[in-house]
Amino acid sequence: MPFVIALTGGIGSGKSSVADVFAELGATVIDTDAIAHRLTAPGNPGARVIAEQFGAAYLRADGALDRDRMRELVFNDAAAKKKLEGLLHPLIRAEVEVAVRAAQAAYVVIVVPLLVETGAYRELAQRTLVVDCDEQQQIARVRRRSGLTEESIRKIMAAQASRAERVARADDVIVNDADLATLRQRSNALHQRYLELAANARKS
């Protein structure tokens, strides 16, 4: 098995930007959100099982998951959230494990937005990396990219682990409080560290 880093952070923290830098530097990046989107695309297993368990009303006209409608449901119904996770998480996990085993890079980064909240994938990873920034930066970034209201964003943030909880679980932290060039520099420094750790792991 390759050396694995689990990457997480709150909404709008910059997880995807950091993952993109690692990918450019040669790491294998496995994004659990991207897998979830693929599984819930028209005709795919996640979309089919959601239609079976929640009803066709939770699919769009093209057969893909209606994310806005499902988000509204699970943020207001803990049982529905648990049911959705029980349906999708095993499907996502199976794809992650296949991708990890197939990886040829020096190390693998698994992007898991709810790593701290669910504990998922932590046993696969040798290290946990948290991307961190203050709440106002999170809100501003999410508003720019999604158009969600501040109230909606804060509701999402409230359902996630706190900054302190995430940082307390981290082996490594990248603070994303500046520009992209700074983020690249900080990510590259960790990349060099991960190359060393991966090389040492292969020797042991």
Note the pLDDT of residue 92: 94
CATH number of 1-27+107-193: 3.40.50.300
pLDDT digits 0-9 by tens, 111-167: 999 899 888 888 899 999 999 999 999 999 999 988 889 998 998 898 889 999 999
- Give CB contacts under 8 A, 24+ apart, made by 60-66: 64/40, 65/40
Instruction: Classify the C-alpha dihedral 115-120-121-125 as positive or negative.
Output: positive
Q: What is d(CA 139, CA 182) in angstroms, rounded to the nearest whole number?
A: 20
pLDDT digits (tens, 9 = 90+) for 87-111: 999 999 999 999 999 999 999 999 9
- Long-range CB contacts (within 8 A, 24+) of 56-65: 64/40, 65/40
Q: Mapping DSSP to helix (H, G, I), strand (E, B) and coil, where does residue 87 land? A: helix
Q: What is the pLDDT of residue 152?
A: 87
Burial class (CB in 10 A: 0-12, 13-18, 19+), 175: middle
All structural domains of the chain with their residue ranges: 1-27+107-193, 33-104
pLDDT recorded at residue 168: 95
Alpha-carbon span 103 to 107, nearest angstrom: 8
Q: Which pLDDT belongs to residue 155?
A: 86
Per-chain mean pLDDT for the chain? 93
Q: Is the pLDDT of residue 204 over 80?
A: no
The Cα-based distances of 160 to 49, 62, 139, 156 in angstroms read 25, 30, 14, 7
